[in-house]
């Protein structure tokens, strides 16, 4: 028996509330990190702070609107009326919730693209494909909202055409940007590893930790988007479960990158304090000429440089 829309909405609401609680806790810690004073980063990273605040506000408004709909549907209405109410796309609040969700998704895409842009030395041509995919996803979202608002009855299957475009383009943007970001960090790590002495390689902090964080969070986001596409293809009301969970999931993915990078930086700092000065490579985010002589690189590395690298990672990766 296929899942009914009221069952899907109630299940999604419960899961969404649980995830929102987790997101709230992580958001508080993330803002403490982003707003905290750092020795090598006197000014806070404004783009990351603005994105974090916007995503949290959108998530909070979304959970409030979902709560209103669930209480109204399950307390004041019978089953028949409830099913009609929950699938009524002509309600003004339905459009508000859709706008909030798509805006959050686009902000998430923009964050990944921004990180790639910074790490590649602000080279716009590198992010051209992800930017085009994100713009296409935004245009598809606008088209979907217009179609749903101006068509009296739209089923899940009829929405799938727009859904395929929205989520496929978002998946493409995230995948391309994530791969480019991870590759740039890995390529730098490989170059530094090739010229450092064996002792220096053992002492320095490996930037492959950042690559791992980027790839893991990118895989989670890709899995979420693929799930959306599959459910659209099946034409199931189970997509309401993902809809209710969407904003907390996207928010958690965003803050997890900052928190894990910060944890890695703190661990590295503690290790350096216990073991004395360590030699750590300087990750260059802008084009620069690298010397092929090992002693030149080693002389430019220090624990202080490591803090600068990880601070920039926390702000952009």
- 271, pLDDT greater than 80: no
Give the model's confidence band at 284: pLDDT under 50 very low, under 70 low, under 90 confident, else very high: very low
| Cβ neighbours of 117 (radius 10 Å) | 22
The mean-pLDDT minimum among 106-120, 168-182, 247-261, 297-311 falls in 297-311
CB hemisphere CA count around 51 (13 angstroms): 27
- 305, pLDDT greater than 60: no
Contact 100/62 with Cβ under 8 angstroms? yes
Give the model's confidence band at 266: pLDDT under 50 very low, under 70 low, under 90 confident, else very high: low
First to last CA, the chain: 44
Give the model's confidence band at 205: pLDDT under 50 very low, under 70 low, under 90 confident, else very high: low
Instruction: Please indicate whether residue 66 or residue 236 has the higher confidence score (pLDDT).
Output: 66
Residue 38: strand pairing partners: 41
Q: What is the mean pLDDT of residues 255-266?
A: 79
Place of tokens 């974090």: 52
CB hemisphere CA count around 229 (13 angstroms): 15
- 214, pLDDT greater than 70: yes
The pLDDT value given to residue 27: 93
Helix (H, G, I), strand (E, B) or coil at 38: strand
| DSSP letter, residue 300 | T
The tens digit of pLDDT for each residue in 117-166 reads: 988 888 899 999 999 999 999 998 888 787 777 665 555 555 667 778 88
User: Which two three-digit tokens encode residue 253?
Assistant: 């993915």
Question: CA-CA distance, 274 to 76, in Å (whole number)?
Answer: 63
Place of tokens 């929205």: 166
Per-domain residue ranges for the chain? 5-316
Q: Which of 219, 222, 213, 224 is nearest to 317 (CA)?
A: 213
Give the model's confidence band at 291: pLDDT under 50 very low, under 70 low, under 90 confident, else very high: very low
- 245, pLDDT greater than 70: yes
Q: What is the mean pLDDT of residues 155-182?
A: 81
Give the model's confidence band at 270: pLDDT under 50 very low, under 70 low, under 90 confident, else very high: low
Output the CA torsion sign for 190, 129, 161, 89: positive
Residues making up the chain, counted from first to last: 317
Q: What is the CATH number of domain 5-316?
A: 1.20.1070
- 53, pLDDT greater than 70: yes
- 115, pLDDT greater than 80: yes
The pTM assigned to this predicted structure is: 0.78
Question: CA-CA distance, 281 to 212, in Å (whole number)?
Answer: 18
- Mean pLDDT, the chain, as a whole number? 77
How much of the chain exceeds pLDDT 70, in percent? 73
């Amino acid at each position: 028996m296929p899942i009914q829309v009221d069952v899907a909405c109630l299940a999604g609401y419960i899961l969404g509330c649980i995830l929102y609680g987790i997101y709230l806790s992580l958001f508080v810690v993330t803002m403490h990190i982003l707003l905290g004073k750092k020795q090598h980063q006197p000014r806070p990273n404004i783009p990351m702070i603005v994105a974090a605040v916007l995503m949290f506000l959108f998530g909070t408004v979304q959970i409030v609107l979902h709560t209103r709909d669930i209480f109204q549907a399950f307390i004041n209405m019978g089953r028949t009326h409830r099913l009609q109410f929950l699938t009524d796309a002509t309600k003004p609040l339905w459009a508000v919730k859709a706008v909030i969700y798509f805006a959050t998704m686009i902000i998430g895409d923009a964050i990944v693209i921004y990180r790639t842009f910074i790490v590649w030395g602000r080279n716009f041509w590198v992010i051209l494909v992800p930017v085009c995919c994100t713009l296409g996803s935004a245009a598809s979202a606008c088209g979907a909202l217009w179609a749903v608002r101006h068509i009296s009855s739209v089923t899940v299957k009829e929405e799938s055409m727009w859904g395929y475009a929205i989520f496929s383009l978002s998946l493409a943007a995230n995948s391309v940007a994530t791969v480019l970001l991870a590759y740039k960090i890995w390529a730098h790590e490989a170059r530094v590893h090739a010229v450092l002495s064996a002792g220096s390689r053992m002492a320095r902090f490996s930037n492959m930790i950042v690559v791992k964080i980027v790839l893991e969070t990118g895989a989670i986001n890709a899995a979420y988007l693929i799930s959306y596409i599959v459910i659209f293809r099946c034409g199931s009301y189970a997509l309401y479960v993902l809809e209710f969970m969407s904003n907390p999931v996207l928010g958690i993915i965003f803050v997890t990158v900052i928190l894990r990078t910060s944890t890695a930086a703190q661990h590295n700092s503690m290790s350096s304090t216990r073991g004395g000065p360590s030699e750590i490579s300087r990750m260059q985010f802008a084009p620069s000429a690298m010397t092929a002589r090992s002693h030149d690189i080693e002389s430019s590395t220090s624990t202080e440089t490591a803090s600068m690298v990880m601070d920039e990672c926390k702000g952009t990766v």
